[in-house]
Structure 1
Amino acid sequence: MNYFKKIIKYIIPYKKYGYLNILFNILYAFFSMLSFLVLMPMLDIIFNPKAPKITTKPSYEGITKIIDFFKNSVSYYINEFAGDDKSKALLMVVGLVIITFFLKNIFNYLAMYFITFLRNGVLRDIRNDLYQKTITLPISFFSEKRKGDMMARIGSDVLEVQGSFLSILEMIVREPLTIIFTIIAMIAISFKLTIFVFIFIPISGYIISIIGKSLKRKSDKVQKEQGYFLSLIEETLGGLKVIKGFTAEKEFQNKFNNSTNRFYHFSNTLLNRTNLASPVSEFLGIGVIAVLLWYGGQLVLVDRTLQAADFIAYMGLAYNILTPAKAISKASYGVKKGNAAAERILEILETENPLKDAPNAIDKKTFDNEIDIDNISFKYEDSYVLENFSLKVPKGKMVALVGQSGSGKSTIANLLTRFYDVNKGAILIDGINIKNITKQSLRKLEGLVTQDSILFNDSVKNNITLGIKGKSDEEIIEAAKIANAHEFIKNLPNGYNTNIGDSGNKLSGGQKQRLNIARAVLKNPPIMILDEATSALDTESEKLVQDALEKMMLNRTSIVIAHRLSTIQKADLIVVMQKGKIVEQGTHKELIAKKGMYKKLVDMQSLV
C-alpha cells in the first residue's frame, strides 16, 4: 500500500466525486440489506396466512427488537392499506420489494457514475505527469531505459493503477458496508446463527490471502516483459531496413518469440492465480451457507425458536454476503497488481532530474560577447571523454571542431545545449555559467542542426515551426528559401501542408536535412550549433545543404562539428581534437601549412 499512498494525491482534485461515490455506496449497501428484509412480510403472508393482524401502530423498543419493530410496522401499514384482502396485501409487499431493489440499483449506478470521473481523471493526470516527466528528464536517463518499457508504463501500468483505485474504493466503502449492514440485520434476526458466520469468514479470508501472496511479484514480471517486447517492436520498426538488409529477420523473430513465450507463461500463472480467487471464495461461502442451513433448520424445525419466514430472509442475507466477500477478494488481488504498476510509475515520477535550473537561474535574452569553455572535463560513464578542455568562441565567429570519431566533438554540442552537465570546469556565455541560466532561455539562444534529421509525423509547416510561435506564412517561406527547401516543398501534393510521414520518411535525406535547417533559420538564434549536419548526405544534396548552411551562418556565431572537412574551410578557427584534447588550432591555411594532423585528415579525404 506504500505506493498507493503516494498516488493518493491524484485523487484530491476529484474528491467531490469520491465523496458522492461513498454516499451512494452507503445507500446501496443499506438498500442491499433492506431488499432482503422487505421479503419477510411477503413470506409471512405466503407461509403464515393465519398470523394475527397488527392493528395498532408498533412502538420502538430498542435495538435488540428492531427486526420485530420493522416487521410489525410493515404489517401494520399493509393491514391499513389492504384490510382483509390478501391479494391486495401481497401486491403491496411485491411493490415494496420492487421499489427497494430499484433504489438499490439506482444507487449502485450513481456510485459507479461518479467514480468514473475520478478514475478517468486520475488516469489522465498520471499520464500527463508521466509524459511531462519524460520530456524533462535528461537524455542520459533514456540511454539506460528501453523506449518500449516507458510506453508500457504510460499505457498499461497506468490503466492497472486506474482499475485498482476502483478496487480500493469498493474494498474500503461499498463491500464492507454491505457486509456490515447485512451482518447487523442477521444478528437482529438470530444471534446464534450469526456466530457461525464470524467463525467461518476469518478462515475463508486466511485461505484467500495465502493464494494472493505472490501476486505482486508475478504481476511485476508480466509488466516488465510487456515493456521489453514493446521496445522490441519499436526497435524493429525503426531498424527495418537494416534487419532486412542483413537478413536478420529470423534473429529478431526469435527474440520476439522468446519474449512473448515468457509473457505467456507469466500471464498464465498470474491469471490462474487471480481466477482462483472467485471460485475459492464462492466455495467457502457455500460451505458457510450449508452449515447455516443445517443449524438454522434445527432452530426452525426442532427448537422452534426461529420462524420459517425469518429463516428464509436470513439465508438470503447470508448469501448476500458472498458477492461483496468475493468482490473484496478480487479487489485485494487488483490492489496487489496495481501496487506493482504504481511502483513502476513512481520510479519515473520520483526520478530526480540532475539538470534542474538553479534556484536563482536567470532568463538570458541576448548573446553579446563570447562563449567561454573553461577547462572542462566530462565523462559519460567511467572514463573521461573530455579532459581540461578550453576554448573561446567570440560573437559572430565560426569555429569548427574536427577530429576522428570518439574525439569528443559531439560531446561539446551536448554540453553547450546542456543536454549533459560538465563534471569539472564551466561553460560561460557572456561570463555567466550556463548552469545559472534557465535551460529554456539558454536553448532559445541556440539553434541545433544534427546529423540525424529529426522530423515528426506532421505537415511540413508544423515541422518547420516546431516550438516557434507567431510566425507568418511569409516568414516560413523565407526560412525555407534560405534553406534551399522552398522549391521541393511547393512541388509536394499539398505544399507546406503536406504530411511527411513517420520521421519524414516521404522525403529524401537531403530534403529532410533542409527542413531541419529551415527550422533553425526560422528560430533565428544568435548561436548556431551544427553537429555533422552534412555527413549523411550524397554529393548533390551536400552542396544544396552546404549552401543553405552558409546562408544561415552569415553574421552569426557558429560552432560547427564536421566530419567532411570541405564544409569548414571558411571557418574563422578550426580546432583539431584527439581523445578529448586540442592538438591543433588555426585557420585552414595555417593548419595545412603546419602539416600536422589536420593535413593528414585533409589528405585522407582527397581535399586539395
Structure 2
Amino acid sequence: MSEKTGNAFDFKLFKRLLAYTNSYRTVFYFVAFAAIVMSGLAVLRPYLLELAIDESIVPKDGEGFMKYIILMVIVLVLEVVFQFAFIFYTNWLGQSVIRDIRTKLFRLMMSFKMQYFDKSAVGRLTTRAVNDVETISSIFSEGLFMIISDLLKMLVIAGFMLTQSWRLSLIVFIVLPFILYATRVFQKAMKVAFEDVRNQVANLNTFVQERITGMKIVQIFTREETEYQRFKEINTDHRKAWIKTVWYNSIFFPIAEMTGAVATGLVVWYGGLNVLAGGAVTLGVITAFIQYAEMLFRPLRQIADKFNTLQMGMVAANRVFGILDTESHIADTGTVDYTNANGAIEFKKVHFGYNPEEEVIKGISFQVNPGETVAIVGATGAGKSTIINLLNRFYEINEGEILVDGISLKDYRLASLRSQIAVVLQDVFLFADSILNNITLNNPEISEEDVIAAAKEIGVHKFIKSLPDGYHYNVKERGSMLSSGQRQLISFLRAYVSKPSILILDEATSSVDTYSEEMIQKATDRITKNRTSIVIAHRLATIKKADKIIVMDAGKIVEEGTHKDLLKIEKGFYKNLYEVQFMAEEVAE
C-alpha cells in the first residue's frame, strides 16, 4: 500500500479501518451519543457558575445559591457517569477491532507462500502482528472518539459563548487562528516523525530477534563486541527518531499554553474594564468566559496530543494493511479431496526457480509408484529439497505438471493434499510446548494413547517417559531442552502418528547419533511399508534399501536406478558420490 507521508490524515485508510466497527454498531453509536451528551454537560457547568455569581452571590441570595450548587453537583455526576461509559466503551471497541484485525492478519500470514517468508524478516512481521496492531487500538481508545468529543465540545462552547457575549467571544476567537495554524504544522511534522519511529522500532525488533535466535553463532565466532556496536548504532537511530517527536512536542505545547493564557488575559482585561465602566458584562460572565476559554483551548492542546496518537495508529494501520493487501498466496482453487490415496507421484517436465531469472529445477520428469521408496541424492544445491517443496505446493512451478494419483496438484484442495503428506526435515522445529502437543500439533483426532502406542512401536517410549513429566514435558523454545537426536525422534514420531499416504524424509538422519538412527531406521521400516516414501538421502543404509534412486545434479536428473545398478555405471555421478561421501562411513561402520 502506498503512503503519502506529507498528508496529515489519510481518509481512505481511515474509512477502511472504520469498516471493522460494523460488527459493533450498537457500541459505536452509544459512544457517539455519549460524546454529544458530554459536550452539552461541559457547557452547563460554567453557565451554572455564571448564574450562581450573578443571581445569587452578588445579590446575596443564599437559597438560590444552594439551588445552583445542587444543579452543578448533578451535572458533575452525569459528566462522571458518561465519561466512564465513554472511556470504557471506546477502549472496548478498540480492543475488539484489533482482535478482529490480528485474527485476520494471522490467518492470512499462514496462507502466504514460503517465498514471502524467504524475503521477509521475522522480527518485522512480528512487529506488524503485535506492536503495530496494538497501536491501532489507540485510534479508537485515545484518538478518534476523543478528538470527536473534543471537537463537539469546542463547537458547542463556541456557539454558547456567542450567545453570552459576542464581544468577549471575538476576543477569544482572534487568538484561535494562531493555535490552529500551529496545530496543523505540528500534525504534518509528527506524521513524518512517527513513520520514522515505526521504521526504527521494526529495525530494532528484527535485529534483537535474530541475534537472540542466533546467539550460539554469535558466541562461537566471538562476535559479541561487533554485534554490540551494531546494536548501539541501531538503538541510537531509534533514540534519534523518538527525540524528533519530543522536539516537536517541546515546541508546540508551550506555544499552545501561551496562546491560551493570552486569550484568558484578554478576556479579564476587556471584561474587567467593561464591568468598571458599568457595561453589560458581569462578574459571572467574566468567570464563565475564563472557563470557556480554558475549555476551548485545552481540547486544542489535547487534540494535538491525541492526534499524535491517531497519527501513530494510522501509520501502524498503513503497515498492517500493507500485509493484508499482499498477494502472495498459493491459489487454493482445487475441488478434489485427497482421500483413498495410493501415493503415485509423477513429475512431468517441471521447471522452477525461486527467482525468475535463476532456474533451480530444469525440466525434470520421474515417477514414483504407490508403495515405493525412492531416494533422491545429489550434491548440495542440486535441487533435492526443492522437489519436496514443490510436492507440498509451498511454491508454484513455472512450467510442467506434478501429478499425485494421476491428478494435478492444483486440482486438490490444499489442506486435503498436505494432510496426506508427512515431512521430516533435517532442521527440526519444535514449539515451546509439551512433547505431546508437538507430536499431535493439537489435532483432536490424535489421542495421547495413539501417540504412546506409536512411540512404543518406534522404540522411543522409554526415552520420552524418562523425561520430567514424560509426554507433557515442555521442550521450551525451538526444543532447546532436547538434543538434536531427540528432537529428530520427536519430529519422526510427529510424522508417524499422522498416518500419511506419502512420507518424505529430508535428510532426516543426518544430524543424529547412531542410537537415534537405529530407532529412526526401525520406524522407517514400519512406516514406509506399503506407503510411498521419498527420501532425501544422506545415510548409506537408507539408500541401499530404496526401490529406486534418483541422482540429481544442477537441477537435472542425471541417473536413475537401484543402488546396485547405479554402482555399475563407470564414472557415474552416483558412483562418485558413493565413493566420496559414503565409503568413509562404510569403513567407519
What's the TM-score once normalised by structure 1's chain length? 0.90
- Distance in 1, Cα, partners of 2:53 & 2:435: 76
SS at match of 1:214: helix
Rounded Cα–Cα distance in structure 2 between residues aligned with 1:290 and 1:510: 79
Q: Does 1:362 align with 2:336?
A: yes
1:343 and 2:353 equivalent? no
**Distance in 2 between the 1:370 and 1:567 partners?**
20
| Other structure's SS at 2:545 match | coil
SS in 2 for 1:304: coil
Q: What is the deviation of 1:46?
A: 5.4
Contact 2:189–2:248 under 8 Å retained in 1: no
- Structure 1: which amino acid aligns with 2:21? I
Three-state SS of the structure 1 residue aligned to 2:544 is coil
- Name the counterpart of 2:309: 334
Shift of 1:387: 0.8
Q: CA deviation at 1:167?
A: 4.1
Q: CA deviation at 1:467?
A: 5.0
1:253 matched to which residue of 2? 228
- Name the counterpart of 2:380: 405
Instruction: Tell me the amino acid that sits aligned with residue 298 of structure 1.
Output: L
Residue 29 of structure 2, aligned match among 19, 37, 41: 19
**2:282 is the counterpart of 1:282:** no
For residues 298 and 362 of structure 1, what CA distance do their matches in structure 2 show? 88
Alignment of 1:251-400 (within 5 A): 251-302=226-277, 304-358=279-333, 360-368=334-342, 370-381=344-355, 382-400=357-375
Change beyond 3 A, Cα 1:551–1:275: farther
- Closer, same or farther in 2 for the Cα pair 1:442/1:113, shift >3 Å? same
Decide which moves more: 582-591 or 564-573.
Answer: 564-573
Distance 1:606 1:431, change over 3 A: closer
Match of residue 591 from structure 1: 566
1:204–1:281 CA contact under 8 A, matched in 2: yes
Query: In 2, Cα distance between the equivalents of 1:320 and 1:409?
Result: 71
- Return the letter of the residue paired with 2:350: I
Match of 2:339, as an amino acid? K
1:377 match: secondary structure: strand
CA distance in 2, matches of 1:138, 1:589: 39
Are residues 331 and 8 of structure 1, via their aligned partners in 2, closer, same or farther at CA, if it must alter by over 3 Å?
Answer: same
What are structure 2's unaligned runs of at least 5 residues? Answer: 1-9
Whole-angstrom CA distance in 1 between matches of 2:480 and 2:130: 26
Where 1:575 maps in the other structure, the secondary structure is strand
Alignment of 1:90-489 (within 5 A): 90-170=65-145, 173-302=148-277, 304-358=279-333, 360-368=334-342, 370-381=344-355, 382-466=357-441, 468-489=443-464
- Provide the secondary structure at the position in 2 that maps to 1:530: strand
Work out whether residues 179 and 321 of structure 1, in 8 Å CA contact, stay in contact via their aligned partners in 2: yes
Q: Go from structure 1 to structure 2 and tell me whether the alpha carbon gap of 1:293 and 1:347 turns closer, same or farther (over 3 Å shift).
A: same
User: How far does residue 223 in structure 1 lie from its aligned partner after superposition?
Assistant: 1.4
Is 1:505 aligned with 2:480? Answer: yes
Q: What one-letter code is carried by the residue in structure 2 that aligns with 1:91? A: M
Report the TM-score, using the length of structure 2 for normalisation.
Answer: 0.93
Check conservation: 2:98, 2:133, Cα contact below 8 A.
Answer: yes
Residue among 2, 5, 9 paired with 2:19: 9
Residue type matched to 1:570 in 2? K
**In 1: Cα distance, 2:420 partner to 2:67 partner:** 81
Match of 1:536, SS state, is coil
For the residues of structure 2 that align with 1:177 and 1:119, how far apart are their CA atoms? 21
Listed one character per residue, the Cα deviations across residues 230-275 of structure 1 (whole Å, up to 9, x for unaligned) are 2222222222222111111112112211111110111111233245
Which residue pairs with 2:39 in the alignment? 29
Task: For residue 201 of structure 1, report the CA deviation from its aligned partner.
Answer: 1.5
Letter in 1 for 2:354: Y
Larger deviation, residues 180-189 vs 4-13: 4-13
CA contact (8 A) 2:540 2:582 kept: no
Aligned partners of 1:369 and 1:319: how far apart in 2? 77
Identity of aligned residues (%): 33
State the Cα distance separating 1:90 from its structure 2 match: 2.1
Q: 1:399 touches 1:559 (CA, 8 Å); kept in 2?
A: yes
Q: Aligned to 1:569, what secondary structure does the other structure show? A: helix
Do 1:485 and 1:511's aligned partners in 2 also have CA atoms closer than 8 Å? no
The answer on whether the counterparts of 1:376 and 1:389 sit within 8 Å (CA) in structure 2 is: yes
Following superposition, the deviation at residue 519 of structure 1 comes to 0.9
Greater shift in the superposed pair: 273-282 or 399-408: 273-282
Does the CA-based 8 Å contact 1:406-1:579 persist in structure 2? Answer: yes
Matched, 1:554 2:529: yes
Residues 286-307 of structure 1: CA deviation (Å, up to 9, x unaligned): 2222222223233333361222
Aligned partner of 1:605 among 556, 581, 587: 581
Note closer, same or farther for the CA distance 1:172–1:474 as it changes in structure 2 (3 Å cut).
Answer: closer
1:81 aligned residue: none
The equivalent residue for 1:514 is 489
Letter in 2 for 1:4: F
Q: Matched residues in 2 for 1:152 and 1:324: separation?
A: 32
Q: Within 2, Cα distance between the matches of 1:425 and 1:606?
A: 34
1:181-204 Cα deviation digits (max 9, x unpaired): 111221111112212333321331
Tell which deviates more after alignment, 198-207 or 30-39: 198-207
CA distance 1:234–1:369, shift in 2 (3 Å): closer
Aligned to 1:54: none
Alpha-carbon shift at residue 489 of structure 1 (Å): 0.7
Q: Distance in 2 between matches of 1:557 and 1:410?
A: 17
Whether the 8 Å CA contact 1:161–1:342 is kept in 2: the answer is yes
Shift of 1:552: 1.6
CA distance in 2, matches of 1:500, 1:451: 18
1:369 is displaced (CA, Å) by: 6.0
Rounded to whole Å, the distance in 2 between the matches of 1:523 and 1:494 is 23
- Structure 1 position 109, deviation (Å): 1.3
Q: In structure 2, the residue corresponding to 1:49 is in which secondary structure? A: coil
Aligned equivalents of 1:434, 1:105: Cα separation in 2: 63
Task: Quote the offset at 1:514 in angstroms.
Answer: 1.0
Amino acid at match of 1:449: V
Q: 8 Å contact 1:379–1:423 — kept in the other structure?
A: yes
Is 1:510–1:545's contact at 8 Å kept on the other side of the alignment?
no
Q: Report the AA paired with residue 177 of structure 2.
A: P
Deviation track 1:350-401 (CA, whole Å, cap 9, x = no partner) reads 111331212x532222323621111110011121001111111111111111
- Deviation for aligned residue 1:134: 2.0
Instruction: Give the distance between the partners of 2:197 and 2:466, measured in 1 at CA.
Output: 49
Q: CA deviation at 1:481?
A: 2.3
Distance verdict in 2 for CA 1:275–1:112, change over 3 Å: farther
Q: Give the equivalent residue in structure 1 for 2:548.
A: 573
Task: Name the SS for the 2:380 alignment partner.
Answer: coil
Which range is displaced more, 361-370 or 448-457? 361-370
Q: Secondary structure, in 3 states, of the residue corresponding to 2:389?
A: helix
Deviates more, 1:488-497 or 1:443-452: 488-497
- Bigger radius of gyration among the two: 1
What's the CA shift string for 1:105-161, capped at 9, x where partnerless?
221111112212101111222222222222221221111111111111122212221
- Asked if structure 1 preserves the Cα contact closer than 8 Å seen for 2:91 and 2:140, the reply is no
